[in-house]
Chain A
Amino acid sequence: MSDTSRVVQIFLKRPMIRVALVLSVLSVLVASHLRITLSRLGDASSNLRVITQEAWPPDFSVVTDRASWAYPPCELQTDWMCSPAVVGMTQTLEIAFLATILGMVLSLPLAAASATNLAPPLMAQSIRQLLAALRVLPSLIWALIFVILVGIGPLAGVLAMTMYSVGYLGKLQYEALEGVSREPLEVARTMGLPRWQVARFFAIPEAANSLLSQMLFMFEYNVRHGSVVGLVGAGGIGWYMQYYLEPFKLYDRVLALIIVMYVVVIAIDQVSLRIRRRFIEDEPMRPKWKQVFLPWTDG
């Protein structure tokens, strides 16, 4: 046996190499099935050059000039406070806030009813299926549905994000509730308390840190996706981006809006991460709302 074939044999004996080879072959096959070719990437680079030329430098008049066409109308006197960036970002945050609160209120009872340690198996399985069905559609599709149902505007955004939040938060919450210690629940059951009281007074308080952390995570998620649902008319900064994209193709203004959104999302992520770390990683403690809104305080 030649040295080369011996090296190949030794090489193929390693499981990681075999797995990598199989995955590489599969990837090539899938790419060819999807008709993905490198020449298409060449076209993309020329399009990218055009967009870059038109988008750079970003036009920050979207932060300073009044958007007289804003919906709902902005009635403040200061122009920058009624600019597309400020109005759009504020709407996105408001949509995310409302959707997170509504999502939390609706998902918590559903999660308690689908946790196997709190609910009868049949009920738990049925509600899990409902939550899974809500997660099947991404928030963008929910937004399309609600734009058709209730028309263009923030209401469609709030409803779309709420539906997705219920499905997503519900799953995170029932997993958190199933992870609580068995003993407090047994104390409650020995007392003879009904299931809803076991959940309300024992399981939910025991899982409070995780539940609060998940709610903050959902708010972050909803802020990020608030821009996407706006693209189909469901309000928020995405709606203002769409206004500039079609039919005007004002890429410089869209880029400015993207930069504003990026800064806000990064700021929210950082604040949220800090708060969530306090709940999850630090010494376990009773969550205080003061720490949620004023994370820099010690109390």
Chain B
Amino acid sequence: MSEQILSVNSAAIGFDDAEPLIEGVELRLREGEIVGLTGRSGIGKTTLIRTCAGLIPPLSGSISFAGAPLAGKARGEVGLIPQRLGLIQHQTVGYNVLMGALPRAKWYQSAFSLPSAEMRESTRNAVEAVGLQDKILTSVNSLSGGQQRRVAIARAMVQSPKLVLADECLGELDAETAKGIINLLRDLANDGTSILIVDHNPVRARTFCDRVLQLRGKRLVELGDEEQDATPPLPVLRRPEQ
């Protein structure tokens, strides 16, 4: 049986000085599993992701990572792909991807900016895997939105964490580009990484996620097969008749 990577137990999620955004959160992620998280805008998906990343403490309840408290996670075991990707805009693709290898750098390698041969090699491999080998020395701010997302995924690949938390990394992408990103995430999961991904599109989420969770009101619920099938397709916008 595969290892349980993330476990959120009876947690209330929100900020100190405000009402909880989500209550009674029960969430389990197993090794290599992709779990989708959907819900309307502003309902607390990003706050839940940030809480699972350890950036915001839960108001109550507990979060454990690989059977131990989340705060004790080892360096590099959790990766985050924020909504706006968190890339360093003035730096190259290579630099941004290499940052994923930083958690395993020895102190002198990072102090003197001397990445090891293994770090450089894994960076090159990840950049190749996302198809950006000809852009390795290009500033990320001159890349398209889809290419920037691939850089963020390559950074996560180099990090090779046990858990990736991805916040809307498929948003505003055309179908073809989104498919490419989904394939990369699938490859990451096949290597044993668990992925919790926010996607505002439940129809798309259920095509590539093992399970889809939905935030409804203040509750996190798992969509059953019937519910997932019953999820209405996205409305098709038509040009008004002339």
**Cross-chain contact B88 with A206 (CB below 8 angstroms):** yes
Chain A 141-191 residues near chain B, CB threshold 8 A:
181, 183-191
Does B8 make an interface contact (CB < 8 A)? no
**Cross-chain contact B53 with A186 (CB below 8 angstroms):** yes
- CA gap between A286 and B90 in the complex, in Å: 5
**Cross-chain contact B139 with A192 (CB below 8 angstroms):** no
**Cross-chain contact A209 with B76 (CB below 8 angstroms):** no
Chain B residues near A191: list those with CB within 8 A. Answer: 75-76, 78-80, 100, 102-103, 159, 161
Chain A min CB distance to B21 (Å): 18
Does B231 make an interface contact (CB < 8 A)? no
**Cross-chain contact A201 with B110 (CB below 8 angstroms):** yes
Chain A residues near B216: list those with CB within 8 A. Answer: none
Chain B min CB distance to A190 (Å): 4
Does A193 make an interface contact (CB < 8 A)? yes
Residue among A191, A206, A208 having the largest count of chain B Cβ atoms under 10 Å: A191
Chain B min CB distance to A193 (Å): 6
- CA gap between A136 and B78 in the complex, in Å: 45
Interface size class of A (residues with CB under 8 A): 20 to 34
Chain B min CB distance to A41 (Å): 52
- CA gap between A208 and B91 in the complex, in Å: 9
**Cross-chain contact A286 with B139 (CB below 8 angstroms):** yes
**Cross-chain contact A284 with B79 (CB below 8 angstroms):** no
- CA gap between A192 and B53 in the complex, in Å: 10
- CA gap between A266 and B91 in the complex, in Å: 33
Chain A min CB distance to B83 (Å): 8
Assuming the contacts A191-B78, A192-B74, A284-B90, asked whether A197 and B102 have C-beta atoms less than 8 A apart, the reply is yes
- CA gap between A186 and B53 in the complex, in Å: 9
Assuming the contacts A205-B88, A209-B90, A285-B139, asked whether A186 and B95 have C-beta atoms less than 8 A apart, the reply is no
Does B189 make an interface contact (CB < 8 A)? no
Does A287 make an interface contact (CB < 8 A)? yes
Does A221 make an interface contact (CB < 8 A)? no
5 pairs of residues in contact across A and B, judged by CB atoms under 8 Å: A190-B53, A191-B102, A192-B76, A192-B77, A205-B91
Contact of A186 among B82, B91, B102, B139 (CB under 8 A): B82
- CA gap between A186 and B155 in the complex, in Å: 14
A interface majority secondary structure: helix
Chain B residues near A183: list those with CB within 8 A. Answer: 82-86
Interface size (B, Cβ < 8 Å)? 36
Chain A residues near B55: list those with CB within 8 A. Answer: 186, 189-190
- CA gap between A181 and B67 in the complex, in Å: 33
Does A18 make an interface contact (CB < 8 A)? no
Contact string against B for A residues 183-217, beta-carbon threshold 8 Å, 1 for contact and 0 otherwise: 11111111111000100111001101100000000
Does B196 make an interface contact (CB < 8 A)? no
**Cross-chain contact A201 with B86 (CB below 8 angstroms):** no
- CA gap between A120 and B71 in the complex, in Å: 17
Chain B 89-141 residues near chain A, CB threshold 8 A:
89-92, 95, 99-100, 102-103, 110, 139, 141
Residue of B nearest to A209 (CB): B90
Chain B min CB distance to A164 (Å): 28
Does B87 make an interface contact (CB < 8 A)? yes
Chain A 191-247 residues near chain B, CB threshold 8 A:
191-193, 197, 200-202, 205-206, 208-209
- CA gap between A185 and B87 in the complex, in Å: 10
Chain B residues near A184: list those with CB within 8 A. Answer: 86-88
**Cross-chain contact B89 with A284 (CB below 8 angstroms):** yes
**Cross-chain contact A287 with B90 (CB below 8 angstroms):** yes
Chain B min CB distance to A80 (Å): 43
Residue of A nearest to B152 (CB): A187
- CA gap between A206 and B85 in the complex, in Å: 14
Residue among B50, B88, B99, B110 having the largest count of chain A Cβ atoms under 10 Å: B88
Chain B residues near A208: list those with CB within 8 A. Answer: 90
- CA gap between A183 and B155 in the complex, in Å: 14
Assuming the contacts A190-B53, A193-B103, A197-B102, asked whether A286 and B84 have C-beta atoms less than 8 A apart, the reply is no
Chain B 50-82 residues near chain A, CB threshold 8 A:
50, 53-55, 73-82
Chain B residues near A188: list those with CB within 8 A. Answer: 99, 102
Chain A residues near B89: list those with CB within 8 A. Answer: 181, 206, 284
Residue of A nearest to B84 (CB): A183
The 9 closest A-B pairs by CB, nearest first: A183-B86, A190-B80, A187-B86, A192-B75, A183-B82, A190-B53, A184-B86, A286-B90, A205-B88
- CA gap between A284 and B140 in the complex, in Å: 10
Contact of A190 among B78, B88, B102 (CB under 8 A): B78
Chain B residues near A284: list those with CB within 8 A. Answer: 89-90, 141
**Cross-chain contact B74 with A286 (CB below 8 angstroms):** no
**Other than the known A183-B82, A192-B78, A206-B90, what 15 A-B pairs have Cβ atoms closer than 8 Å?**
A181-B89, A183-B84, A183-B85, A184-B86, A184-B87, A186-B86, A188-B102, A189-B55, A190-B80, A191-B161, A192-B74, A192-B75, A193-B75, A193-B102, A206-B89
